[in-house]
A and B are shown apart, each in its own frame.
Chain A
Amino acid sequence: MIPAPFDYHRAATLDEAIGLLARYGDDAKLLAGGMSLLPTLKLRLGSFGHLVDISRIAALEYIKEEKGAVRIGAGTRQVTLERSEVIRSRYGALADAVPLIADPLVRNRGTIGGNVANGDPANDGPAIMIALGAELVARGPKGERTIPANQFYKALYTTALAPGEILVELRLPVPPPKSGSAYRKLKRKTGDYAVAGVAVRVELGAKGTVDRAGIALTNVGATPLEAVDAQRSLAGKALDEKTIGEAARLAAKAAEPSSDRRGSVEYKREMTRVMCGRALKAALERAGG
């Protein structure tokens, strides 16, 4: 399969990329790892006159701690996250998720920014960002702004990014002591999207009860979903069979799956419940609760 014709532009800097997006407007599309975009072009599900390649901008590839947050450059390859000690030790949910994205060959090219920004509800990154309380940093012709991850996803393949804006950084708050996160994804085989995936984060207070919780769902709706009621149900509670069960039930209720080859609506909702329960147990263990 061969994509429809387009022109290719390699941006050496972020400013150059922003300039190219401004010049070509709606006819331009950013190319980072290309692991979603190139199949889309080849299958002719989409077509653009101009691709702006940002994958050679070294300034977009980093993982560093600064001002209370771990900052991940949007161009960071998924394989780099997979090997990162910072991610492994602090962000269990992300460390769980990355090896479940596609397959190792895809992760050698695919970027975390692309996974988070392209707006596919089946991608694993978005739910992780929401559950971890991440802020997403966008840069465009008018400068830089931050968008909370739970306000980033507007509709299927539609995000809060304005035309001409580029996702440049993901900011994960440094987790307080006695906190933990986890991701559980049910999938049929390597490379498949989730039947249902659930990302969770819990922060425990002095008494061992939940100070804050984040719960978000993958591939059970038109966008990644924040399970607000499930989060709220945990506030001030100790995590046990009963409270975890109730949060998992509410997470399943928040799911809006559609029936397809991966299962019926009922099955996906049930698997959301199961994945949520398992993720909460794993996060609790990591929090040392």
Chain B
Amino acid sequence: MAKHKISITVNGAAREAEVESRLLLVHFLRENLRLTGTHVGCDTSHCGVCTVQLDGQPVKSCTVLAVQADGCSVNTVESLEQGGKLHPVQEAFTEKHALQCGFCTPGMLMTCSALLAANKNPSEQEIRQAISGNLCRCTGYLNIVKAVQSAAEKMRAA
């Protein structure tokens, strides 16, 4: 099968590769680029642990071909921390105990940071809707909602 040359801007850096048509974006990130922050969970686009931002929009990277992201910009959880400083949503997750086992956290953070980029003051309902494609089996979501609210507050004040 033919291979395709792709160029994708990943976490701000231009990356080029030659990939098989069937290579999934999540595998490209984890295996080709060794960015293992993005997890693989259900692998059937239900759980959302593989969520990354594709041109700013959160999507499930287990259900996108790497070649489909050619020419696009992809941000993974590794992009959130800047110069040793955590993103406000990461800080809030630690402060509000918004995780226990941490498996869903990378996807959850990518969904929540995209939400906060688009909506500076989301209501509880908006937060719950935004994360409805990201499953968490530890927290019951309550502390995740609190963390997003807390991050929103800090980001507005900054």
- Chain A interface (Cβ within 8 Å of chain B)? 1-8, 10, 31, 34-35, 38-39, 41-43, 51, 53, 55, 79, 99, 102-106, 108-109, 190-191
Find out whether the CB atom of B21 lies under 8 angstroms from the CB atom of A103: no
Does any Cβ of A come within 8 Å of B7's Cβ? no
Given A2-B22, A105-B59, answer yes or no on A34-B68 (Cβ-Cβ < 8 Å): yes
Closest to B24 in A: A2
Q: How far is the CA of A273 from the CA of B4 in the complex (A)?
A: 51
Given A7-B21, A8-B67, A51-B21, answer yes or no on A104-B130 (Cβ-Cβ < 8 Å): yes
Q: How far is the CA of A277 from the CA of B45 in the complex (A)?
A: 33
Find out whether the CB atom of B132 lies under 8 angstroms from the CB atom of A104: yes
Find out whether the CB atom of A1 lies under 8 angstroms from the CB atom of B57: no
Find out whether the CB atom of A106 lies under 8 angstroms from the CB atom of B64: no
Find out whether the CB atom of B111 lies under 8 angstroms from the CB atom of A105: yes
Give 1 or 0 for each of B41-80: 1 = CB within 8 Å of chain A CB. Answer: 0011110100100100111101111011010000000000
Closest to A190 in B: B132
Chain B interface helix/strand/loop/mixed: mixed
Find out whether the CB atom of A109 lies under 8 angstroms from the CB atom of B59: yes
Q: Of B21, B46, B54, B129, which is within 8 A of A6 by CB?
A: B21
> Which 6 pairs of residues, A with B, have the shortest CB-CB distance?
A103-B133, A8-B21, A105-B133, A190-B132, A5-B1, A3-B22
Does any Cβ of A come within 8 Å of B18's Cβ? no
Neighbouring B residues of A51 by C-beta, 8 Å: 21
Does any Cβ of A come within 8 Å of B95's Cβ? no
Find out whether the CB atom of A108 lies under 8 angstroms from the CB atom of B21: no
Closest to A51 in B: B21
Chain A's nearest CB lies how many Å from the CB of B83? Answer: 29
Q: How far is the CA of A8 from the CA of B111 in the complex (A)?
A: 28
Q: Of B1, B2, B64, which is within 8 A of A34 by CB?
A: B64
Find out whether the CB atom of A38 lies under 8 angstroms from the CB atom of B133: no
Does any Cβ of A come within 8 Å of B20's Cβ? yes
Find out whether the CB atom of B68 lies under 8 angstroms from the CB atom of A6: no
6 contacts between A and B (CB under 8 A): A41-B22, A55-B68, A104-B58, A104-B129, A105-B45, A109-B63
Given A7-B2, A191-B133, answer yes or no on A108-B44 (Cβ-Cβ < 8 Å): no
Chain A's nearest CB lies how many Å from the CB of B121? Answer: 18
Find out whether the CB atom of B63 lies under 8 angstroms from the CB atom of A38: yes
* 16 other A-B residue contacts (CB within 8 Å) besides A38-B65, A109-B60: A2-B24, A6-B22, A7-B1, A31-B68, A35-B45, A35-B63, A38-B24, A38-B45, A38-B64, A42-B44, A42-B63, A55-B68, A105-B51, A108-B57, A108-B59, A190-B132
Neighbouring A residues of B58 by C-beta, 8 Å: 104-105, 108
Chain B's nearest CB lies how many Å from the CB of A3? Answer: 5
Neighbouring B residues of A10 by C-beta, 8 Å: 67, 70
Chain A CB within 10 Å, residue with most, of B27, B59, B62, B67: B59
Q: How far is the CA of A104 from the CA of B134 in the complex (A)?
A: 9
Q: How far is the CA of A38 from the CA of B46 in the complex (A)?
A: 13
Find out whether the CB atom of A6 lies under 8 angstroms from the CB atom of B48: no
Chain B's nearest CB lies how many Å from the CB of A114? Answer: 13
Q: How far is the CA of A269 from the CA of B46 in the complex (A)?
A: 27
Closest to B129 in A: A104
Neighbouring A residues of B129 by C-beta, 8 Å: 99, 104
Q: How far is the CA of A6 from the CA of B46 in the complex (A)?
A: 24
Find out whether the CB atom of A5 lies under 8 angstroms from the CB atom of B133: no
Find out whether the CB atom of A5 lies under 8 angstroms from the CB atom of B65: no
Q: How far is the CA of A191 from the CA of B59 in the complex (A)?
A: 14
Neighbouring B residues of A99 by C-beta, 8 Å: 129
Given A6-B1, A103-B133, A190-B133, answer yes or no on A1-B64 (Cβ-Cβ < 8 Å): no
